[in-house]
Amino acid sequence: MVKMESDAFVFFGATGDLAYKKIFPALYAMVHRGGFHIPIIGMARAGWDLDRLKARARDSIEHNGDFEEACFAKLSALLRYVDGDYADPATFVQLKTALGLAKSPIYYLAIPPSMFSSVVRGLQQCGCATNARLIVEKPFGRDLASAQALDRTLHEVFEESSIFRIDHYLGKEAVQNLLYFRFANTFLEPIWNREYIRDIQITMAESFGVQGRGAFYEEVGTIRDVVQNHLLQVVTLLAMDAPAGHDSKTMQAEKLRIFRAMRPLDPKEVVRGQFRGYRDESGVAKDSQIETFAALRLRIDTWRWADVPFYIRAGKNLPITATEVRVTLRRPPLAIFDPSDAMPSNYFRLRLSPEVVIGEGALAKLNGEDMRGEPVELIARHNSQSEKSPYERLLGDAVRGDTSLFTQDETVEAAWRVVDPILAGGLPVIPYEPGTWGPDAAAKIVDGGETWHDPQVERSSPC
């Protein structure tokens, strides 16, 4: 197992959109913070040279954040470039030369999965795969079968311990804060179970549409794009027990236990929607059956969570852009002061984006002689201008060999087993108006006379 830090960073797809928007800014930030001094080799088949790659890197950083000439000069000095066809062995001979004395490089495949096979075999044939690590970008397949096939391709050359499947959502500060909030506070654990929690809702809402990416969205849809990966990962952080140790293996093992306890989705407990106007987007079929909205009920068969529904809702062209978790507690066994149905239940509200907010819903007495109450929310906000971007955090961890925030093959496959029953077709897509909370049918997903809790625009308050 590779334990040393990587001594060269190679990214395939260096001229692409992902490199421009995420990779160059992350590398620049790592250089800016200090401690990142290894060669950075861009790989592409675009007919470019090193000067053009450096110009692309400069443009990327100037458009994606603060720019300092001295810092960029340090990054520029680390850059190398290799151009060639990924199916041509000569390309990898050039790469081996560019690597020089590097003994433990890390390769980032910022390219479509269809190219993975050519690249990993090219690395093996030129002797560049020994003692190396591999970063691969989601999507990790389109369903269980394709995910398993992709894993077989990677495992032909790389051991699982050397593969880093990057899901940028796990690198977000807010997601890390959720995990910390759960296990750093003693008061939560006694009530974080089926005896006290009635249900958990997770909403990932976007107020915009597909933004000109209709052709891409036709290939994925909401369930593949954010439910199978981002939101099921959030579920594991909410549902897992405390890991038995501090190392990444115990964290991964606990998350895998939760994934395996998730029931495969029942099509009767899933609603798919499509906003009106989606079919007019460029690259979208006129009779498209791809969902831009999904609402579902998830069950987790563990001692802690039996009979507690997890409700997940995600969609585009909704009233607000926000991702929020709402954990609703059961009512007290007796209503001493107010009728049991007159006041709302206690809850925890965890806003993950665009702000980081922790709210606790409680009841407080109103002024006056009568023992009557009102709902209040205790709010804690977290604001940091210096926090790392998800890609900066994840790339740094991968270079150091820390797998804590990356997904493993068994976890990816377990997540696909959950959603596979609703991917084969047969579930209709129900139209909904832009600016609404999806199809009316989504309300029926939440049972027991309850409703969805719609995220609201956060009101700023003085600190």
Nearby residues of 166 by Cβ (< 8 Å), 6 or more positions away: 135, 136, 137, 138, 394, 398, 406
Longest dimension (CA), the chain: 86
Whether residue 230 lies in the annotated active site: yes
For residues 309 and 301, what is the distance between their CA atoms, to the nearest angstrom?
Answer: 10
Q: What is the token pair recorded at 463?
A: 């600190």
Q: Are strands 310-315 and 322-329 parallel, antiparallel or unpaired?
A: unpaired
Cα dihedral angle (173, 189, 240, 267), rounded to 10 degrees? Answer: -100
Whether residue 175 contacts residue 283, with contact meaning beta carbons closer than 8 Å, is answered with no
Q: What is the token pair recorded at 330?
A: 């059961």
Residue identified by tokens 């090193």 is 50
Annotated catalytic residue within 32, 168, 230, 453: 230
Q: What is the token pair recorded at 410?
A: 């068994």
Residue identified by tokens 């197992």 is 1
Whether residue 219 contacts residue 331, with contact meaning beta carbons closer than 8 Å, is answered with no
Angle between the 50-64 and 69-78 helix axes, to the nearest 10 degrees?
140
Instruction: Tell me the sheet residues that pair with 253.
Output: none
CB count in 10 Å sphere of residue 240: 22
Whether residue 42 contacts residue 81, with contact meaning beta carbons closer than 8 Å, is answered with yes
For residues 395 and 164, what is the distance between their CA atoms, to the nearest angstrom?
Answer: 10
For residues 74 and 338, what is the distance between their CA atoms, to the nearest angstrom?
Answer: 66
Q: Which residues are catalytic?
A: 230
